[in-house]
Structure 1
Amino acid sequence: MHPFGALVRYPKGWEGNLPKVKTISFAIPCYNSAAYMDKCIESLLTCGDDIEILIVNDGSTKDNTSEKAHEWEERYPGIIRAIDQENRGHGGAVNHGLECATGLYFKVVDSDDWLDSAAMVHVMAYLRRQVERKNPTDLVIGNYVYEKVHEGTRTVIGYRNVFPQNQEFTWDDINRFHSSQYLLMHSVIYRTDILRGMNLQLPEHCFYVDNIFVYAPLPHVRTLYYINEDMYRYFIGREDQSVNESVMLSRIDQQLRITRTMIDAVDIVNDVPQPKLAKYMENYLSMMMCICSVFLRMEKTSENEQKRSDIWKYLEDANPELYRHVRYNVLNMGTNLPFEFGRRIGLGGYRLAQKIFKFN
């Protein structure tokens, strides 16, 4: 029986031989990713042989993603595992990867992104030290980089102003996040037991689940460590990417679904005793509500206005005190002003942020 109680699928030749615990499990959700998955996998292999790479083929049908995954497994037995599943969406692929993981730590790397080899030398050195500790760090954090390959530009998101460096710390030790700073899936490495202990299950057949991944587990995290290295390279530029503006418009109902799930996942007011963490989570939810409001106002329809009203009512019914904090957060004061004036204020703020932070 696996120590976590989950079903683990080991590579051929491992039958009857329980492997040494891996330092980290990297899960790569892949859906028709054959054209770019190799770069991602190659960047992970530089991390050493005490890792495992879980290539989760999420029911790809348009290319040879599955075949490539199995070829990689044959080349690196004991390190790479190819996992095929029926299509369950990005969340379903992450769920399956977490179910199969044997590493002390767990990190998701999207198949069109990659990790910086030089940065990972420092990250892996710290993670390896945790293997020997009785109480390993719960959450390890690194920087991430927006790589706009077609423009030849890059934007680094770091946390030097927020977190202590070269020491383990708690939520009480953090400083204030800037408006552009959030913990995204790119920047976090969770201890696997944290995610399993809270029974994390991401919604399936839905985009934007990464917001839940970096939000719901935070109250379960007690210790953190920040490594000031540009660890994760986040590719931006594909037309079908989920952060593409036209794609986000077409998937606004999924954005609303994820936001409702986040509202239900954590009672920030009553269940998050650490004030600094509670404030951060409140600001994160404010950002999510702002995104919903802005995108619903991009197209002037009565249906969108009703949806905007409904999502705010959902928050108010769920937690009136949190509603007041989020509704009058600086992000949402202008975004939700009535009539055409409010709509233009909201869209103008979004365009300005888009130029400054280059997030899509």
Structure 2
Amino acid sequence: MKTISFAIPCYNSAAYMDTCIESVLKCGDDIEVIIVDDGSTKDDTAQKADEWARRRPDVIKAVHQENGGHGQAVNTGLANATGLYFKVVDSDDWLDERAMEEVMAYLRTQTDRESPTDLFIGNYVYEKVHEGTRTVMHYRNVFPEGREFSWSEAGHFNQSQYLLMHSVIYRTELLREVGIVLPAHTFYVDNIFVYVPLPAVKTICYRDVDMYRYFIGREDQSVNEDVMKSRIDQQLRITRIMIDAVKLPEDVPEKRLERYMENYLSMMMCISSVFLRMINTDEAEDKRDALWAYLREHNPEIYRRIRRSVLNIGTNLPTDLGRRIGITGYHMAQRIFKFN
């Protein structure tokens, strides 16, 4: 068995996928790289994937599928994975060689264990290449470092701290056991990936190393503000799926994890509300009301707690003044935390 399977979703990625793949290959020969060509048509992504598989058949698989979006590409990667662990690396991002030496050293210690660690967590770095700046997102204030632990030992996440797809490496069979399936043709599926499996995670290891480099700043990126407004219906869909997938608090017996997941869902509700208020149409206001009504109907207790949270009190103030206050608060957080 390979130590880890890396899934690399590629959609018209020919201009930058080589850099990503080369960084992953530096992790060693006991890895599996699954390049998922998501129906690319505008460049030679498919040919590049096949060429990589021909050059390194011992390590690389090239899988071609009809276009299904990032979520479907992750599903395909997981379906083809044979490694003990599973990690998604987006084709415009890359892994840090020195950090991955430490990551791989730990994962290799798990291959002979009867009960390997469920979740490995490392830092990720926002690389704003066009600005020449970088922001490291770490968890050293939250988790014990360098050993296996459980949620009961986790500390308090700061307001800007969340687990992202960039920072997690799951045990492959855990993802299959929870039946994780990401929706096709939908952006923001990474929120499901780092939320739904967490109650099944019993053991964790954190290393304070900057393993994942996340490129940010392209005009067409899904986190671009104008793009997010145009895709607001997909954001709303993901938020509803998260509401349905985990029933808080009863599905999460560990209190510290419950608090974290409640805060994550609160953040999702906040982002949805803010962008709907930015759109500023009657239809957008109706959608905002409908989303909150959906949460109230499906989980009245969590609705009351999230509606009163610091994130959402200002976001949902009535009147046009309230709308401006909510948007201003979002932009202040954006500058402080540099999340897009």
TM-score normalised according to structure 1 size: 0.94
- Counterpart-to-counterpart distance in 1, 2:310 and 2:198: 23
The residue aligned with 2:50 is 70
Alpha-carbon offset, residue 36 of structure 1: 0.6
- 1:4-62 Cα deviation digits (max 9, x unpaired): xxxxxxxxxxxxxxxxx000000011100000101100000100000010000000010
What is the rounded CA distance, in whole Å, between the counterparts of 1:78 and 1:262 in structure 2? Answer: 38
User: Is residue 2:13 matched to residue 1:26?
Assistant: no
Does residue 43 in structure 1 map to residue 23 in structure 2?
A: yes
Tell me, in whole angstroms, the C-alpha distance in 2 between the residues paired with 1:299 and 1:46: 44
Residue 278 of structure 1 and its aligned partner are, at CA, apart by 0.3
Select which of 261, 266, 270 maps to 2:241: 261
Distance 1:137 1:342 in 2: 46
Displacement after TM superposition at 1:354 (Å): 1.1
Q: How big is each residue's C-alpha offset from its partner over 1:290-347, in whole Å with a ceiling of 9 and x where there is no partner?
A: 0000000002210000000000000000000010111111100100010112111111
Aligned partner of residue 193 in structure 1, secondary structure: helix
Q: In the alignment, is residue 208 of structure 1 matched against residue 188 of structure 2?
A: yes
> How far apart are the structure 1 equivalents of 2:58 and 2:306?
47
Matched, 1:198 2:178: yes
User: What's the Cα RMSD here?
Assistant: 0.6
- What's the CA shift for 1:187? 0.2
Counterpart of 2:109 in 1: which secondary structure? helix
Counterpart-to-counterpart distance in 2, 1:201 and 1:344 = 37
Note the alpha carbon deviations across 1:162-210, whole angstroms, 9 max, x for none.
Answer: 0001211000000000001000000000000110011110011100000
Give the Å deviation of 1:221: 0.2
- Segments of 5+ residues of structure 2 without an aligned counterpart are none
5 Å matches for 1:80-91? 80-91=60-71
Shift of 1:268: 1.5
1:109 has 2:101 as partner: no
Structure 1: distance between partners of 2:280 and 2:78 = 41
What secondary structure is seen at the aligned counterpart in 1 of 2:315? coil
In the alignment, what sits opposite 1:9?
A: none
* Mapped partners of 2:279, 2:160: distance in 1: 25
Q: Does 1:311 align with 2:291?
A: yes
Question: How far is 1:358 from its partner?
Answer: 1.3
Partner of 1:8: none
Question: Are 2:268 and 1:288 equivalent residues in the alignment?
Answer: yes
Mapping of residues 35-184 of structure 1, within 5 Å: 35-184=15-164
Question: Percent identity of the aligned residues?
Answer: 70
In structure 2, the residue corresponding to 1:131 is in which secondary structure?
A: coil
Query: Where in structure 2 are the equivalents of 1:218-237 lying within 5 Å?
Result: 218-237=198-217
Using the alignment, how far apart are the partners of 2:71 and 2:211 within structure 1?
A: 23
Amino acid in structure 1 at the alignment position of 2:279: E
1:343 maps to 2:318 = no
TM-score w.r.t. the length of structure 2 is 0.99
Match of 2:254 in 1: 274
Residue identity opposite 2:58 in structure 1: G
Q: Once the 2 structures are TM-superposed, how far is the Cα of residue 353 of structure 1 from its aligned partner?
A: 1.0
Query: Given the alignment, which residue of 300, 310, 317 partners 1:320?
Result: 300
Alignment partners' CA distance in 2, 1:298 and 1:354: 15
**In structure 2, distance between residues paired with 1:22 and 1:268:** 36
**Aligned partners of 1:147 and 1:157: how far apart in 2?**
11
Runs (4+) of structure 1 exceeding 3 A deviation are: none
Quick one: distance in 1 between partners of 2:108 and 2:279? Answer: 50
**CA distance in 2 between partners of 1:130 and 1:173 (Å):** 21
| Correspondence for 1:355 | 335
Q: Which runs of no fewer than 5 residues in structure 1 stay unpaired?
A: 1-20
Q: CA deviation at 1:74?
A: 0.8
The CA deviation string for residues 117-139 of structure 1, in whole angstroms up to 9 with x for no partner, is 00000000000000011110000
Cα distance in 2 for residues equivalent to 1:199 and 1:138: 15
Using the TM superposition, give the Cα deviation of residue 239 of structure 1 relative to its aligned residue in structure 2, in angstroms.
1.2
